[in-house]
Amino acid sequence: MERVVLENGQLAYDVNKPIKFIYFPLTGVFSLVTFMEDGEGVEVATIGNEGMVGLPLFLGVDRTSGKAFTQVPGDSLRMTASAFKKHISRQGPLTRTLQLYTQALMVQISQGMACNGIHSMKQRCARWLLMTQDRVASETFPLSQEFLALMLGVRRGGVNKVATELKQAGLIQYSRGVITILKRKELEDSSCECYRVINKEFDRLLGPPQQVQSSALPL
């Protein structure tokens, strides 16, 4: 693998195009997005240092109908598709870990679908912010209203309303495309149970997340 730095919005793979690389995020966060014929997109999952980007290759296909790109810039470890296929053909520990990760990601996607249909925008926004903070291991991270609207599947006006509400409550600071989590516990209280359900499943299958300092990694 090689260590790479990915900028905001950088593609990992595109709709129905061959997947050339897989990524193991270290400090950045990826978004998996499904698009409709009219160009409207909705996020179906996020991937950070708990997972990998390029799961269709593990499942035996080289392309998919969705798109994956960075929503928060950061470091990742990258491997070519051909090298990855050789590794998983050995049926070793990596293969077993990715089997467990596949199940955990399915829980995230299914729980997210239920959350989007049942819970309020404020609860969903709080859940998304908490999950992002967990993955970047920082209270502050870049995020535009346009990006957040895509993540929540709503219009920018709705995002502005809920962000203002959380800001006025003193839970976050939001200015010029940068969010700072000010009161983590209160933000958890504003979220729904979906945040806890998803985290519990990842911990059960893969163990508690371990924070990795990118500066300590070998080049």
Number of residues that make up the chain: 219
Give the model confidence (pLDDT) of 20-36 as tens digits.
999 999 988 999 998 88
User: How far is Cα 173 from Cα 183, in angstroms, rounded to an integer?
Assistant: 10
pLDDT at 209: 62
pLDDT at 216: 40
Closest CA to 47 of 102, 7, 97: 102
170 DSSP assignment: T
pLDDT band of residue 207 (cuts 50, 70, 90) is confident
Residue 99 has pLDDT above 90, yes or no: yes
Averaged over 135-158, what is the pLDDT? 79
pLDDT in tens, 193-205: 999 999 999 999 9
